Structure 1
Amino acid sequence: MKLLSLATLSLALAAPAGATELLFAGQVQQLTLQPSGVGDCPPMCPADTGPDKNGVSHVCVSNAGGCQTATVKVVTDYLATSETPLLSFKSRTGEWGKLNFPVKEELILVHAVDGVATWAPLLMRDGKAYFKAADMREINRVPVHALAKDGDGLVPLDQLVAAIHAAH
């Protein structure tokens, strides 16, 4: 659902650094917002240093908000790569301050690797968890678009997990 492009802030995890791929059902426990330019939330635009040596002035315009730290509780780890029950994701808030993680108690499916995190709501039907395939691209070398979807574009979570195990 949300692609957290973290070009200005890298994905920070409570787990060890590196390119560890994560896939888990989780629940947002806390969201912390910080204004741009305060604390560890750098300003979107560099400080105005006046005209350059050629007399050219530069202008920076941004409608981005500040920074967000989402603390997410790992409920079920599908890749067995999380070393802690709580993970922290740091990112910029979206356009006009839009949050990158939900402010709801429902479970979400979180995939994170190489500084990019995505999440999708987990929907329950007949005792099975489903997620929207369009919200995810490739997970642990499994192309999500190739998985069988229902009429609503939903994929059973157990189908994704089985495909991941079959690919390895």
Structure 2
Amino acid sequence: MEGLLRQFADSFPQLCQLYSIGKSAQGRELWVLLVTKNPGEEPLLKPNFKYIGNMHGNEAVGRELLLHLIEHLIAGYTAGTDPYVKHLLENTRIHIMPTMNPDGFESAIEGQCLGGTGRFNVRGIDLNRNFPDQFTMRREQEQEEVAAIRGWVERIPFALSANLHGGALVASYPYDN
């Protein structure tokens, strides 16, 4: 994944900028690819949007979807065939983090649908339940991955966000606890 993100950033510097927001518990980089026209500029009133995938390491579909989204955005813009993609990249800054839990992903077992191998981070913590909660005290110490996300959100004024999960049927909303 890192190689692919680097390839996008190196091949399309006018559209992509790769950066890390920190490291996982095992020291893996938490990579983000910014996809926008002129990523080195930060004009006023160009909203920031973030996508996060793979919060649970064994839920790899979100990770794959985000990598394909990057590919779609770049191809649509560079070919000049998709006016909607052109509009998006000229008017928004799209930050894409394919994996928030690289340690869990590395320990997950491909094809295993039962059990939680890889779901949690290396310390056995569910990152999805490690964020501050307005109603319930968190029992575990804040994990590196969560601290990195919180710092990222404090640095960049995101207008919208999405976190992709995989699995069975669920509908979540802010503060749904």
TM-score range, shorter chain: under 0.3
Q: Which has the higher helix share?
A: 2
TM-score (norm 1): 0.24
TM-score (norm 2): 0.23
Q: Which has the larger radius of gyration?
A: 1
